[in-house]
Structure 1
């Protein structure tokens, strides 16, 4: 005999029907492992190489405070009011001037200000990606991009990489087979690997996009954080890709991530589509934050501030590189990034960076296992180390702690 389940009744005695479940798209999109690790390692005694966080002691607090004071003193009615979706004209003009000075002629009207470059990627995905559409990504890839494409219902296809980034021959073959809508790529100091795509490969990517008819989303959050070598031109600078490349930028790494200010530079038709998508998302990015950023760019020397950051980060990168041979087991491999925030490590066969993380936290040190960054077959030996958040002395101490993890054996 089977008994029927009791009918749900609320406190007032009314029969109730449960609300619908969350959308099915959530089932295939997990939370960010990096965010979970950051929560796990939030204790001050843990030296964390996990998060890609700018050094908080390097924020120009006085300059940013003065910028906010200035806009609130001079024109509070404007700073606290609704604004246009496209963004503050003064801020867009300043961003256009910075891009032009770095070799990419840009007008204010070429830009859309976004709530962080993460929103720019979300808007582009909304404008371009239908459910089931193919999106190509570097493998390994920035985690939040994988989340964004997963929410859109895209079929994300990994493109193989080597120590110099995405492999052009593999991209050409996969694009011919898959007919993608877009390729997402971080060519300069990539997250998670720190790699920089050489100029000849950037040209090959541009030509592949023209040949196979897909968009390129070129994300550049780290480009101003160069410590060695010569700047490599953006993919969007290549004539073959000018009509099909979107450049994403951010103030998070050079001014402050809490401002949540980013921008996208795109051809007119696609930019207009992103404006419409943004109107549906949040109407516009914070008026006062945009006004303060524009004021900061007018009254302060951001380039001088970035130079201070570069000097500090170069010292920290070098301290980590110097300490890795003693911290990691024999047979480990790692790269020497010319800039950015990350060093990519591959442990010897038989090591599992995810399994070792709990032991590492027990020694009050943390990192991000590399496996979650892979869209294709994950490499359990991979790990990402960030060197920007801690001083050189703290990095040396953290690496001594990390050495104890491997001294215990696999």
Structure 2
């Protein structure tokens, strides 16, 4: 028999998974790439102020763990996370009103990974996830990649509308509610204790999980703290609380935490084993050392004081920067102000002209899971000094005025 011969042709590679094809890049991160020029004053990114990082304290912590225990700090670790770091996070959570043990926690590679692990552990393709409208952009990416059907819940100036949540939950039979109740990204809004209690009761009555994301809670510089949803009756056995060191220590550490009921936490540990085995051993050890010897609360006092001044500079200057008829809020903490331009303005269409004036914002439209508000704008106030903020607002006023 003659030998088989292969034709001189090449077949195409198989296509990407549908979930990869349907999930777009983050518009925020795309804008950051466009505005990387040093002369641009950007209100676009949610980037903590780098000059406020405790670089010396972190350097000392890394030096200590690499000098005193290099074999442990540079070795593989457990998937659950460094025991000392988990104990420190548990102590801080307990001090903030939510009794927590180290074994209640899983250390994650940023709270972003925590949400991905929850999606892996909880969601089948087609499952319904309820989100605030507007919602944190990367959460929408995660739920899209999981194949979930995302259903928006209306919000007002006070955040998530509990009555709407109850009606939608009864109709849609969701598996999960995702919410950022304190200084929400993108709006800066904070849910009241009354609304949090209502959310907890609705979740219990309708039978759904809650993913409570809290990256900004320790950045309050006005008013009294509001308890976590996880602490309200009805929510205790169904809430996964996501925490982050990105906004209180440094985002480059990529450290977060996940507090969840035992069965869900164990499923997330297995998902983490499949994802990355464990979070960086040396970063965890350094963070634990830092928390043991440094005064994080004093550091946060300095950060909050600076952010308060920057919030004031931004909010107090918007009246002259934005067109007459615009609206905006005055958040009591966090990193973001939410503004809406007058009807007829399109914040996305205006952005190229704004960037030509060496200033930037993030259009609000991509944050909506439902019909977008073309007039909405997210402005971050933390990255620049008050003087730079005032200059940026002058440029923004010129750009919008030319329109």
> Does TM, scored on the shorter chain, surpass 0.5?
yes
> Normalising TM by the smaller chain, what interval?
over 0.9
Match of 1:374 in 2: 368
Q: Does 1:334 align with 2:331?
A: no
Q: What SS class does the counterpart of residue 196 from structure 1 fall into? A: coil
The separation in 2 between residues aligned to 1:74 and 1:408, in whole angstroms, is 60
Instruction: Give 1:338 deviation, angstroms.
Output: 0.5
Q: What SS class does the counterpart of residue 181 from structure 2 fall into? A: coil
Match of 2:302 in 1: 308
Q: What SS class does the counterpart of residue 87 from structure 1 fall into? A: coil
Match of 1:140 in 2: 134
Q: Does 1:247 align with 2:241?
A: yes
Q: Does 1:207 align with 2:187?
A: no
Q: Which runs of 5+ in 2 are unaligned?
A: 1-5
The separation in 2 between residues aligned to 1:394 and 1:16, in whole angstroms, is 56
CA RMSD of aligned residues (A): 0.9
Match of 1:318 in 2: 312
Q: Does 1:271 align with 2:229?
A: no
The separation in 1 between residues aligned to 2:326 and 2:224, in whole angstroms, is 28
Instruction: Give 1:18 deviation, angstroms.
Output: 2.3
Q: Name the count of aligned residue pairs.
A: 398
The separation in 2 between residues aligned to 1:24 and 1:123, in whole angstroms, is 20
The separation in 2 between residues aligned to 1:354 and 1:132, in whole angstroms, is 30
Instruction: Give 1:52 deviation, angstroms.
Output: 0.4
Match of 1:385 in 2: 379
Aligned residue among 33, 38, 48 for 1:44: 38
Match of 1:355 in 2: 349
Q: What SS class does the counterpart of residue 282 from structure 2 fall into? A: helix
Instruction: Give 1:16 deviation, angstroms.
Output: 2.9
Aligned residue among 142, 145, 151 for 1:151: 145
Checking the alignment, whether the CA contact within 8 Å between 2:105 and 2:257 is kept in structure 1 is yes
The separation in 2 between residues aligned to 1:353 and 1:215, in whole angstroms, is 35
Q: TM-score, normalised by structure 1?
A: 0.96
Match of 1:185 in 2: 179
Instruction: Give 1:17 deviation, angstroms.
Output: 2.4
Aligned residue among 212, 215, 239 for 1:218: 212
Aligned residue among 280, 283, 290 for 2:284: 290
Q: What SS class does the counterpart of residue 296 from structure 1 fall into? A: helix
The separation in 1 between residues aligned to 2:45 and 2:401, in whole angstroms, is 24
Q: Which runs of 5+ in 1 are unaligned?
A: 1-8
Instruction: Give 1:222 deviation, angstroms.
Output: 0.1
The separation in 1 between residues aligned to 2:9 and 2:374, in whole angstroms, is 51
